[in-house]
Structure 1
């Protein structure tokens, strides 16, 4: 299996439901920006709305960091709208909900479950150059945490802006980082 880390995001053009409208989103829209792709199995399910609302509650923090969030499922943009209209929780979502009914985007990111026609819970952080810097894929029975994703995006942005520095375990914005060198070998 080849790693997707530091690979370029695929070219794509999909329909989305965003702020009450149907819009088209493509890889061109990401150029020069940080982005999070947040794949989930399906609308009108159980764990998915808890995750999407968690992301919605942190969306302003992501935006303040210059990050756009894109949720993605294999549902159509029509189903995204119907879910939005039917669910008080989903009405909180302000980020684009990408439609992937053919599974092309889910396959390109390596999260498609062919026999189910749905995606695994996959999270991908993409830098302004279009390179995937963080990947997290998990079984659909395990929900994610937007606070932890915020921390990871902050770390990715920090190391991108501070050449030669790395973020240790549990690093939080403002905490000490490390500058790898031969002098640190065996001393941490």
Structure 2
């Protein structure tokens, strides 16, 4: 089943955020734009490079009114330990959700059942709780937070400008397209 434009499924979890353990649920994501960023495990190799990259751009996401949530099948206790042990992870200011039961990973269809780990899944969710962007990578392929930021900007633009679409490599301020009969075969 296609996940785009579906509403996120209910979940309840605990996150490590700003030195505290905080509850997070599907309701926490509603009412604002959100990024849910799945990764396989704490204390690994590619994961800290991705999470650090995302931490560096987190202020830019916040300027757009976007909350970022990282998720792995580790516990919130493990997230705290990793945050305390790694300079790269220590710079994270977004919530790090623990998903030890795999419920959230299964909800987003990124669970590797035989390993109990999540694939590298990235989801952009609108304020209504609908998934607007879904991207899933194999474990060895890291993601780029700058490209994710561009996709969020495009999703927000399309949502606020009905009838317009963003072409490849679009960035804010560049021309968009207005699909019409006049454009058919002319792009």
Q: TM-score, normalised by structure 1?
A: 0.99
- 1:31 Cα deviation (Å)? 1.7
- 1:34 matched residue in structure 2: 33
- 1:121 matched residue in structure 2: 120
Matches within 5 A, 1:87-98: 87-98=86-97
- 1:164 matched residue in structure 2: 163
* C-alpha separation in 2, matches of 1:12 and 1:52: 22
* C-alpha separation in 1, matches of 2:27 and 2:69: 14
* C-alpha separation in 1, matches of 2:40 and 2:29: 23
Deviations 1:143-188 (A, max 9, x none): 0000000000000000000000000011011000000000000001
- 1:13 Cα deviation (Å)? 0.8
- 2:3 matched residue in structure 1: 4
Q: Does 1:175 align with 2:174?
A: yes
Provide structure 2 residue ranges, at least 5 long, that are not aligned to the other structure. none
- 1:81 matched residue in structure 2: 80
SS at match of 1:89: helix
- 1:71 matched residue in structure 2: 70
> Root-mean-square deviation (CA), in Å?
0.4
Provide structure 1 residue ranges, at least 5 long, that are not aligned to the other structure. none
Q: Does 1:155 align with 2:129?
A: no
- 1:38 Cα deviation (Å)? 0.2
SS at match of 2:87: coil
* C-alpha separation in 1, matches of 2:137 and 2:92: 22
* C-alpha separation in 2, matches of 1:94 and 1:137: 24
- 1:16 Cα deviation (Å)? 0.6
* C-alpha separation in 2, matches of 1:29 and 1:4: 20
* C-alpha separation in 1, matches of 2:93 and 2:110: 24
**Which has the higher mean CA deviation after the structures are superposed, 22-31 or 130-139?**
22-31
Give every structure 1 segment of 4 or more consecutive aligned residues whose post-TM-superposition deviation is greater than 4 Å. Answer: none
* C-alpha separation in 1, matches of 2:86 and 2:29: 29
- 1:32 Cα deviation (Å)? 1.1
* C-alpha separation in 1, matches of 2:165 and 2:69: 27
* C-alpha separation in 1, matches of 2:73 and 2:120: 12
Deviations 1:15-74 (A, max 9, x none): 110011001001111221000000000000000000000000000000000000000000
Aligned length: 187
* C-alpha separation in 1, matches of 2:133 and 2:159: 12
